[in-house]
Structure 1
């Protein structure tokens, strides 16, 4: 199996990656690329463990019109793609009629046959996680049902065409963000690092695709409503210190409180208050561990006026007291 990556902004020749069948490998292989032209800065990290190949693209561009990546692959693959920042357009053979778009905070599962396709980045900041694997890996984790029951996949297979299992994309909820963060910031070494990364990739696949089963039975959410709630999720992340009431967030979204709570839970899988609490605990933990904040200081920075209330919420969610972080 071979991939050829040709970036419009990369220095030197195209990146060629060759793999054994089904991405099989007995060790952990990692690499990083950071030489770009055309006003692009950033990194591309690659991780190859048994049966999966991962690319994490983190770009900043001053000329988004010229930033494209062409990919040529000589075997069919599946791709779980997560857009953490920016917006990404994928077109087969540079044919605009085949273009699929994935916006910020969205992910999807692609089937891609042997083909040439082009990624076009349309934002000045892009963070995209790509997880490649084959049919055998998917079926070893999920069984054969997910492919047999997908009419899109069966049609694409017959016509030898790519397809997206979730056209509009699914929202990247807090659980998925945490898994991705754990995957990309793993601090273990040697065999433990390999085992940890493999377990996180399996967890990412299972959570991403089983979440869709519950979403599939829900009422379809309008694109406009998704965008509104996504903007509120951004607002929450950057304003954890504020008093984030349902009434205030609903007003910012342009919904009544009932609709806001319903749509938010449909998209992110948990009630808005649980989501806010989870973000606050995550941020406070980071402040304590990485920036030397006391528990009282950290709790104040994430919106708790009383440190005891933070301690109760922390213990309820994680099962131990925040004082354990200090040890």
Structure 2
């Protein structure tokens, strides 16, 4: 299994990296590399597990880079662009392009990857996990028995696949897993077992996302008017996270009775209205704690809690840790 990389706009020779067949690696291995040139300062760390490569990279670019890439094996990868932006354009225009924006991620399958990666951000931070199909089949055997899953169909037909049409903002749940992996300080065998469990935890989340997409397509049976009413109600909740709002208020705003609103909302969003509203508030709180240097008391007010202690209790009930712990943990990414 060989990967080829060549910096197109600097006319350097291609760098070839050879991996064991099926990424076989009985014992954990770590490889660190660095690059220091007039156009780039980069640090890269690969952690090799059995069927898995975890990659952590930091780039400081003085000018944009075009990177010609080719892999002689199918590419199954979840990529997190923690900072920066990455664009992949295949040489074959019939193949799938990949764009991952700042603070976003995607999971994709490319049967014959060959094309150009464009890196334009002066500073970027990447975290990615490359796996083999064999690894996923062994680890998630139950999922591979689902013949209707679009991902499974793509693997069988050897056609390109990406989980989201456009890259999605990295959810805090995944940021925490990434943080655990990056900051793991265990040694050898213990580290290997720990990281293997974290990789499975991360892919469990991704397969759950795939299931959600399939379920939504099958189960939504509302007519267009009813569906639009529910979507409108959800947008109202999004805009009023900092306020107190009742079912009665919501039903009047969208012009539908309370019973129908509660029933239809659960069909579309798979949760009762106010559990969904609470989850929205908690997710907003997590985003504020991760991205901004904001006091917990200010976060509490921003998501509709007048008493910071009540907010802390609700947050811990939802996530099993206090808000201050989250902020400190993500700072170490």
Q: TM-score range, shorter-chain basis?
A: 0.5 to 0.7
Distance 1:61-1:320 versus aligned 2 partners, 3 A rule: closer
Aligned to 1:33: 33
Residues 222-301 of structure 1: matches in 2 within 5 Å? Answer: 246=241, 271-278=279-286, 299=296
- Residue 77 of structure 1: which of 75, 78, 91 is its match? 75
* Contact 2:282–2:315 (Cα < 8 Å) also in 1: no
Unaligned runs of 5+ in 2: 221-234, 244-252, 255-264, 271-275, 326-333
Cα distance in 2 for partners of 1:59, 1:11 equals 19
More displaced, 312-321 or 193-202?
A: 312-321
Cα distance in 1 for partners of 2:150, 2:300 equals 47
Distance 1:283-1:80 versus aligned 2 partners, 3 A rule: closer
Deviations 1:202-239 (A, max 9, x none): 1111112212322444489xxxxxxxx9xxx9xxxxxx
Distance 1:316-1:166 versus aligned 2 partners, 3 A rule: closer
Deviations 1:238-280 (A, max 9, x none): xxxxxx97359xxxxxxxxx99xx9xx89xx983311244457
Aligned to 1:188: 186
Deviation, 1:281, is 7.0
TM-score where L is the length of structure 2: 0.65
Aligned to 2:257: none
TM-score where L is the length of structure 1: 0.66
Root mean square deviation of aligned Cα: 4.3
The answer to whether 1:316 aligns with 2:313 is no
Cα distance in 1 for partners of 2:173, 2:154 equals 32
* Contact 1:38–1:63 (Cα < 8 Å) also in 2: no
> For the pair shown, which has the larger CA radius of gyration, 1 or 2?
2
Deviations 1:58-117 (A, max 9, x none): 2232312xx133332222231122222222211223759853322233322222224423
Q: SS of the residue aligned with 1:129? A: strand
Deviations 1:139-187 (A, max 9, x none): 12223755843457646764x5533243223442111111111111112
Q: SS of the residue aligned with 1:194? A: helix
Count of paired positions:
276
